[in-house]
Amino acid sequence: MKRRELLKVIGSTVIAGVALPAGILLGQSANALNATDSAGSILSASSSIFPDVVWVENGEPEQLLAAALKEMGGMSRFVSKGDVVVVKPNIGWDRSPEQAANTNPKLIAEIVKEVLKAGAKKVKVFDRTCNNPRRCYENSGIRQSAEDAGAEVTNTDDSRFVKVELKKGEILKEWSIYKDYLEADKVINVPIAKNHGLSTVTLGLKNLMGVMGGQRGEIHSPFNKLIDIVEEILPTLTIIDAYRVLMKNGPQGGELNDVKLAKTLLMSPCTLAADMSALPLFELPADKKIEYLQKAAERGLNKIDLKSINLKKVVL
């Protein structure tokens, strides 16, 4: 699929970053991959001038995105003229933006604008919600914000989930995935950083459950099933919304006192690197292990060496 032409953007210098909790990085990692830039030339690990992960803090959503894109070389590195692009937020819950259960609508609007500015033909925004779709789309603020920015916003349609073979699946051999996601030229995955009662945290990898059909509750036990599926549908770019972080009682939340105003955003073409780099947001114990992220690393879902993530931190 065209959307899986993932960029490998590893910086040529060591840049100050954020330490990851002990025990989360594993001894083995996937081999570094080369990738093509927007002009089609090959970028090697040694020649790229861009970091693996950008962490930007102390700004409003629009400012955070602009600063991250500046460090990553702009949206045109990820989106080409004429592309059909899926921007995949979390719209799963009937909650307001202040309750931090769904992706920030202001961030989604800015991403849509940047994607269109980069030359995309169409931007699609959707999510398979957990609560009533109409209420989720409206109360999250995402429908209005995304439509105003120029996106096509639709509820998921059960008839558009299609079976996908999971070539490397250890437990699952096939699963239903939303057709619009599969047919997109590029995918921008935009989770919100949240606590999760079963998995401890929910970030980029788990946000992809919103394009999965079937009985998704089964994927939580064990989480190896999640890895079986996401291995086939990794996005082009992951942007973690941490403007507000749901610290407790996730993923649905509901109480404002469970929310931390972090005013932060992380961006990476490697979803697993973004997820692991986001863990300090949650103030976890140093020895806390996130089992499904460890399993994802063991399975090689990372596109960079997780032992030496080149993370650039920007404070606005």
Give the DSSP per-residue string, 171-194.
S-SEEEEEHHHHH-SEEEEEPEEE
How would residue 272 be classed by pLDDT, with cut points 50, 70 and 90?
very high
Indicate the CATH number for domain 2-315.
3.40.50.11440
312, pLDDT greater than 70: yes
**How much is the pLDDT for 16?**
37
Distance CA 253, CA 302 (A): 29
How would residue 71 be classed by pLDDT, with cut points 50, 70 and 90?
very high
Q: Cis check for the bond before 251: say yes or no (omega within 30 of 0).
A: yes
Instruction: Look at residues 166, 168, 161 and name the one whose alpha carbon lies nearest to residue 300.
Output: 168
Give mean pLDDT, residues 143-158: 98
Give mean pLDDT, residues 120-148: 98
Instruction: Look at residues 281, 284, 238, 285 and name the one whose alpha carbon lies nearest to residue 261.
Output: 281
Give mean pLDDT, residues 166-189: 97
**How much is the pLDDT for 287?**
84
Give mean pLDDT, residues 21-33: 34
**How much is the pLDDT for 32?**
28
41, pLDDT greater than 80: no
User: Of 37-46, 71-80, 127-136, 252-261, which range is least confident?
Assistant: 37-46
How would residue 222 be classed by pLDDT, with cut points 50, 70 and 90?
confident
| Alpha helices, H only, the chain | 61-72, 105-117, 133-139, 142-149, 179-183, 204-207, 224-230, 271-277, 291-298
The answer to whether the CB of 129 falls within 8 A of the CB of 166 is: no
How would residue 13 be classed by pLDDT, with cut points 50, 70 and 90?
very low
How would residue 19 be classed by pLDDT, with cut points 50, 70 and 90?
very low
State the average pLDDT for the chain.
87
Q: Which two tokens stand for residue 99?
A: 């309750």
**How much is the pLDDT for 286?**
81
